[in-house]
A and B are shown apart, each in its own frame.
Chain A
Amino acid sequence: MREPLASVVGVGASTVGRHTDELEHEIMIPVLLDAVADAGVSKSDLDSFVLSSPRPYIEQKYFATFLAAYLDLPVEDILLETHGNGMSGALAFDIAVDRIASGHAKVAVALGVSKETHISTGEHLQWSMRMVGDVDFHTPFGMTSISWYAMNATAYMHEYGVGRRELAEVAVKNRRHAAANPIAQFRELITVDDVLDSRPIVRPLHLLDVPPRSDGAAAVIVVAPELADKFRGDPVHVLSRGHYHEGIHQISTRPRSLTSFPAAARAASKAYEAAGIAPADIDVAEVYAPCSIVEVILSESLGFFPEGGGVKAALEGRTTSQGDKAMCTSGGCTSRGHPPMATPLYNVVEAVEQLRAESGERQVPGAEFALTSAELGDYNSTLIHVFGRGETL
């Protein structure tokens, strides 16, 4: 095991769902204060302030500077916003970690807020269709962000002879996790038939296979490992990170498999190597999986199960909180909810709480190592972080 890059000593997250009656900073600030209190840091300790850049339809622009002023927070090291579509929150976390690992800062905060529910789905898709495709050669055909995952699903179901019923089990499992997560957007249990009978969105994916629209905010406090014990007795260490962008925007020029995520495999293998662990060591993976099919493919590309074995493993219960490879114990994007600009930070929050054994009924017994992922495109770019408990070092 190598030296950790940084240590997480504080986390905060709002309930996921509708926050239409609150302004963006009114959602964000209580969460930041929760994270600061959780960490035991004070305002004057904060060296770096890295914000996941909000959606263009958030009213306040240059939100990071607005927030710093609202908080009366002078920032010594760096104040910036990260922009990378659904990966933005993970980039904010990655930069906060790097400010610590590079020695530029002792205490950094990564934070993000998404306000989505005041915008109609059609309007949202009309904007996002310009981010998740080539506006001249993809968008004119009317594709949407999740239509790419739907096409992964069609290919996967054909290649491995899987039906909608089997895929639906992933959504049902994640709802069970969400039922035990007090901040989740949807906590009422669902059945496979509920998933099958929900209305089609991007066939073969129906409403309960895809993410809801969600508001929410999350914040994470990162400190230099040597200071971790000063703030909290049970720090969670960031052991490594791995990134890869394969130079592809949604679809490759040359035909290739549509049932694996090569960038995820490459980013994860770099992260495993840097942490000195193997995929088998990961106890809990809180991944960026907007749709059920994405979690299945990831469970293979991250090296947990063989190619084509993801659905079988899910049906055997191996990805539940009591399984050997717990995935999306928060309830994931479909049930915890998906405030995209904050989702990767919510994933870090879940990983940290699992390693601190604070996850209640959805606790993964004896969790020692956790993994988070975030992505761009059809997982054409992946950012992985690997976490470990303090005593595992």
Chain B
Amino acid sequence: MGEAMASAGNADQLPYPPRTTEFTAPFWSAVADGRLTTTRCTRCEFLTFPPKVLCPQCWSRDVEYVVLSGRGRLATFTEVCVPPAVFRDEAPYVIGIVDLEENVRLLTRIRAPFDELTVGLPVHMVVRHSQPVALYEFAPSPDTENVCEEKNA
């Protein structure tokens, strides 16, 4: 009991966790395994992010989960110095918009100091092993070779 409590106390609790449903559970469990996924339309093949219960392009309900590369470029970024109250303990922190190789765009946390970032920087997904779900964050990719090695490892 004491050990379980200590363990819960040490866990990285997300200040504002996303909700998990039967539909989104595959996405969040894949993140914990180090894979970024999303849904693609099985009719028109439109890829969207985040996963959606329909294809936003043709409104078909026939969508499937696919694995994304988790690699992309930093489109823009900011350092949040004045955060919402629940994020007070994490501030300041950097968030950014990443354009993935698959030509989809997402918002994420960037694990690097604001002053070391530039628009267009190659970035890759890193897992934040948080509770109640793991979160997908991104970090600068030192160079292309290293990213490939990491992926092959």
Contact = CB atoms under 8 A, between A and B. Distances in A.
Interface of A: 120-123, 125-126, 128-129, 133-144, 147, 150-155, 158-159, 199-205, 250-255, 258
Interface in B103-138: 103-109, 114, 118-120, 135
Contacts of A143: 80, 95, 107
B51 to A, nearest CB: 9
A158 B119 contact: yes
B90 A203 contact: no
A151 B85 contact: no
A150 B76 CA distance: 9
Given A151-B97, A255-B103, A255-B105, A203 B81 contact: yes
Contacts of B85: 120, 122-123, 125-126
A203 B79 CA distance: 5
Contacts of A151: 76-78, 95-97
A182 B56 CA distance: 49
A162 B99 CA distance: 23
Interface in B38-89: 48-50, 56, 75-88
Given A142-B15, A142-B90, A202 B78 contact: yes
Given A253-B48, A253-B49, A155 B76 contact: yes
Interface string B19-51: 100001000000000000000000000001110
Contacts of A139: 16, 18
Contact of A154 (B78, B88, B106): B78
User: Which of A129, A158, A203 gathers most chain B CB within 10 Å?
Assistant: A203
Contacts of B79: 200, 202-203
B14 interface: yes
Contacts of B103: 254-255
A111 B47 CA distance: 43
B76 A133 contact: no
Given A125-B84, A203-B114, A140 B24 contact: no
Give the 10 A-B CB pairs with smallest separation, nearest first. A122-B85, A150-B78, A136-B18, A125-B84, A126-B84, A158-B119, A203-B79, A255-B99, A142-B87, A151-B76
Interface of B: 14-19, 24, 48-50, 56, 75-88, 90-93, 95-97, 99, 103-109, 114, 118-120, 135
Nearest to A257: B75
Contacts of A133: 107
A147 B95 contact: yes
B82 A258 contact: no
Contacts of A253: 48-49, 56, 104-105
Contacts, number: 125
8 contacts: A122-B88, A139-B18, A142-B90, A142-B93, A151-B77, A202-B82, A251-B97, A258-B76
B84 A252 contact: no
B118 A158 contact: yes
B47 to A, nearest CB: 8
B29 to A, nearest CB: 15
Contacts of B84: 122, 125-126, 128-129, 142, 144
B95 A258 contact: no
A140 B83 CA distance: 12
Given A144-B82, A201-B81, 10 more contacts: A122-B83, A125-B85, A128-B84, A138-B107, A140-B135, A155-B76, A201-B82, A203-B78, A203-B114, A255-B104
Contact of B75 (A125, A140, A147, A155): A155
B97 to A, nearest CB: 6
Nearest to B94: A203
A200 B48 CA distance: 34
A7 B104 CA distance: 46
Given A155-B76, A255-B103, A142 B81 contact: no
A131 B40 CA distance: 27
Contacts of A147: 78, 80, 95
A253 B48 CA distance: 6
User: Which of B56, B75, B78, B99 gathers most chain A CB within 10 Å?
Assistant: B78
Contact of B119 (A128, A137, A154): A154
A49 to B, nearest CB: 34
Nearest to A152: B76
Contact of A142 (B77, B83, B99, B104): B83
B105 A251 contact: yes
Nearest to B72: A255
User: Which of A120, A125, A128, A133 gathers most chain B CB within 10 Å?
Assistant: A125
